[in-house]
């Protein structure tokens, strides 16, 4: 099966403007990714990877990038953090329709991961809710991909948590 996802990294690519980075990534097994160099010190790799599962696709891509660019720091795996418009596009409905569902079903609607000027959810939470509660047709591969990218981003965030503080907070935040 083919999986499309993005891995964003912080790197130090100096003066080469990405030429050697592209060569190293290609030689390291990332020849199925488009390289984006839009912001200094950042790269985005848009993968189109064949694999048996979303987990295999993402983990093999992470390993290939680590091999090619050992000092690169993962910023985010996508698709994961989304707004209503992103979710609406993903399932083929309007943003207004999704907002109406959110207001009508506020008790069961997924809890956002960020509320502010922009409200963000994990895509997997939204897709599962739409599938289970609203009987929307959701691609199983899209759902699996969203679940794995969420786990990668959560694992990355968890690696930065003070373990002692986490023990004290666990019963308060879950």
Residue 173 lies in a domain: no
Q: Average of pLDDT values for 2-9?
A: 97
Give the residue among 45, 19, 15, 16 at the shortest CA–CA distance from 32: 45
- Residue where a domain stops, chosen among 23, 49, 78: 78
**72 — pLDDT class (breaks 50, 70, 90):** very high
Looking up residue 52, the CATH number of its domain turns out to be 3.30.70.3400
Residue 156 lies in a domain: no
pTM of the model: 0.90
Q: Are residues 98 and 115 in the same domain?
A: yes
Looking up residue 121, the CATH number of its domain turns out to be 1.10.1660
Domain count, the chain: 2
What region, left, alpha or beta, does residue 14 occupy, with left being phi > 0 and alpha being psi -120 to 50 degrees?
left
Residue 90 lies in a domain: yes
Q: Which of 62-71, 76-85, 92-101, 160-169 has the lowest mean pLDDT?
A: 160-169
Would you call 3 exposed, middle or buried from its count of C-beta atoms within 10 A (0-12, 13-18, 19+)?
buried
Residue 29 lies in a domain: yes
The residue segments making up the domain with residue 9 are 2-78
């Amino acid at each position: 099966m083919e999986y499309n996802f993005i891995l964003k990294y912080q790197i130090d690519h100096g003066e080469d403007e990405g030429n050697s980075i592209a060569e190293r990534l290609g030689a390291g097994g990332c020849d199925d990714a488009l390289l984006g160099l839009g912001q200094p010190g950042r790269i985005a790799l848009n993968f189109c990877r064949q694999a048996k599962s979303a987990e295999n696709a993402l983990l093999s891509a992470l390993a290939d990038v680590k091999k090619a660019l050992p000092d690169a720091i993962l910023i985010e795996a996508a698709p994961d953090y989304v707004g209503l418009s992103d979710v609406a596009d993903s399932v083929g409905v309007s943003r207004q329709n999704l907002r109406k569902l959110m207001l009508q079903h506020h008790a069961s609607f997924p809890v956002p991961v960020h509320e502010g000027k922009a409200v963000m959810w994990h895509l997997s939470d939204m897709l599962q809710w739409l599938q289970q509660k609203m009987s929307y047709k959701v691609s199983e591969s899209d759902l699996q991909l969203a679940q794995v990218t969420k786990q990668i981003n959560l694992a990355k965030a968890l690696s930065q948590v003070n373990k002692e503080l986490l023990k004290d907070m666990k019963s308060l935040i879950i």
